Structure 1
């Protein structure tokens, strides 16, 4: 079996029950230049929340790193019984993009799709991160599939896609089809859609145009548009017509309003505000409430000391009435050009 399709594997929705969340402990100070000191504490707070509702697998570079992390996590009040450390060296900590993308079938079996990771076709240091999915597959003795097109191993980051768990996938043309930070030269839209069908069980792809301003990945979907239900989509909008996010996000909204589900019906499209621009050291950062993470009984939402924080939390809470919705201060975290969704990867139960 060379692909998951014959066994009806499909990528579950993020809100489906989790076995665990995977993260990597921050260690590369260059990812938060001049502002690294608070980051391990931000991670400790996030793990404290996650460990109330599910296990957390934490990648660390070595035993001293595990000991330092353990000290912080104990002081933060994390549930240590639910934390599991793995000594696998990483280049960066954005496991949404470098970690395994799990698929599951109707019989309950789970497998790993191991897409190539090349640091967003932008940085040179990615080879340790590219090994993470095969480490997880070996740990679990789980089937592992490596997507290819024309003997070319396909590059894909988890932050560039979002699914409703029922065969529909969201992505952006800016990320997957642009010649800037080009992931898969010579691979067409149709070939990518065929690969999503073959490896993730996707029957329909909804192509948005662009991501948000300041996005180092060149257009990840998880900063702008997310499924929050099988037929419900939350999409970021910018009301300020002078802001560089206004037009791209308005076009995404327009595309979503005319999109159809597998039954030919419209989606329930809801609008999510953007925070006011977050600028540090003269650089616009990819601050977005859409980078939330859905855990068991919990949704963690990045907040930015902004007047839109409360509105965004209320909108997301309306989408998840059965879950506790918690804001996590992310002004320091976003200086690393990612927040809560970027740092996490769910493992389905």
Structure 2
């Protein structure tokens, strides 16, 4: 069955999940100088997640695989909750090279494997672009995958699961992604692949230090079909103030399908995080949270605003456990918590088995 044969719907992040996908850093990659720090963050993500669901980790070589496996055995992680797969990789951003899951009217899932070009050719991405198929070849997926020529990253889209998609013009309409496509072309492809009939386009909003051309998951997120959490800059002297204030007005003007305004939850603005080596600003954002089964992992930055962010998101997720994950090291490579992960909806993974 192909996408042309039936109608599919893009699943929201809060849909029940089988697992979470991570990509472990290469020892000789961009994380080389920060390897112990990023591995510590990934370990915390795994230890938090295995209490709720499985974790699938792509690891770059056998030596790393053995070391990571031994680490989690020492932590007492049950073998059936963790699957390690050795595949060649470029970087760690599973949100953008991982599969995007859709479901048809009969409940059958399909994984869509979009083209990943390292955010418009900024960074090497050939191995990461092949990763979803390599995981299929390794027997990870329980449902079929379909390759798509369109350049699209998971961090660029948000859905309410009911036919509405939220995204940014700066990313999806950027000529470094699909220069041959007009806005109407993009909307038509989104409708075909995801079953969406409404696209809410944000024309404003950005973060300094962001390599993604304003991924929506750094700015504004659906928490449920009627609730959007978004970052608000309350410092008029900050260079982000004008753009994020304009974005806030756009969000206030958006309407749900029933004509009502969205319930908006403003997330606080942390103090400027600067790279310790050259002083450039890093993209610290509380919008980069991750929804898993019964829990929400929230990036924190050792900032006084951390607690305010947790309190704000508690209002959006009253039935979830909120788990802070310190991400000051993650933003050194210009992403955060959500960027490192891809949720795997229920039905995407083959039955768990102990690591080989």
Same fold flag (TM > 0.5):
yes
Could you say what secondary structure the match of 1:35 adopts? helix
Deviation at 1:87, TM superposition (A): 1.4
Conservation of the 8 A alpha-carbon contact between 1:211 and 1:221:
no
Aligned residue-pair number? 341
TM value normalised by structure 1 = 0.93
| Aligned-partner Cα distance in 1 for 2:202–2:336 | 21
| Aligned-partner Cα distance in 1 for 2:196–2:121 | 28
Alignment CA distance shift 1:297-1:313 (3 Å):
same
Deviation at 1:183, TM superposition (A): 0.5
| Aligned-partner Cα distance in 1 for 2:73–2:43 | 9
Deviation at 1:88, TM superposition (A): 1.4
**Is residue 71 from structure 1 mapped to residue 67 from structure 2 by the alignment?**
no
Give a deviation string over 1:113-135, Cα, whole Å, max 9, x none.
11100000133521111112223
**Corresponding residue for residue 211 of structure 1:** 206
Pairs within 5 Å for 1:1-349: 1-3=1-3, 6-32=5-31, 34-138=33-137, 139=139, 140=141, 142-147=143-148, 153-179=149-175, 182-209=176-203, 210-280=205-275, 281=277, 282-349=279-346
Conservation of the 8 A alpha-carbon contact between 1:55 and 1:83:
yes
Quick check: 282-291 or 27-36, which moved more?
A: 27-36
Could you say what secondary structure the match of 2:283 adopts? coil
Query: How large is the RMSD of aligned CA atoms in angstroms?
Result: 1.7
Could you say what secondary structure the match of 1:64 adopts? helix
TM value normalised by structure 2 = 0.91
Alignment CA distance shift 1:33-1:284 (3 Å):
farther
Give unpaired runs (5+ residues) of structure 2.
347-356
Give unpaired runs (5+ residues) of structure 1.
148-152
| Aligned-partner Cα distance in 2 for 1:193–1:28 | 40
| Aligned-partner Cα distance in 1 for 2:317–2:340 | 21
| Aligned-partner Cα distance in 1 for 2:233–2:221 | 16
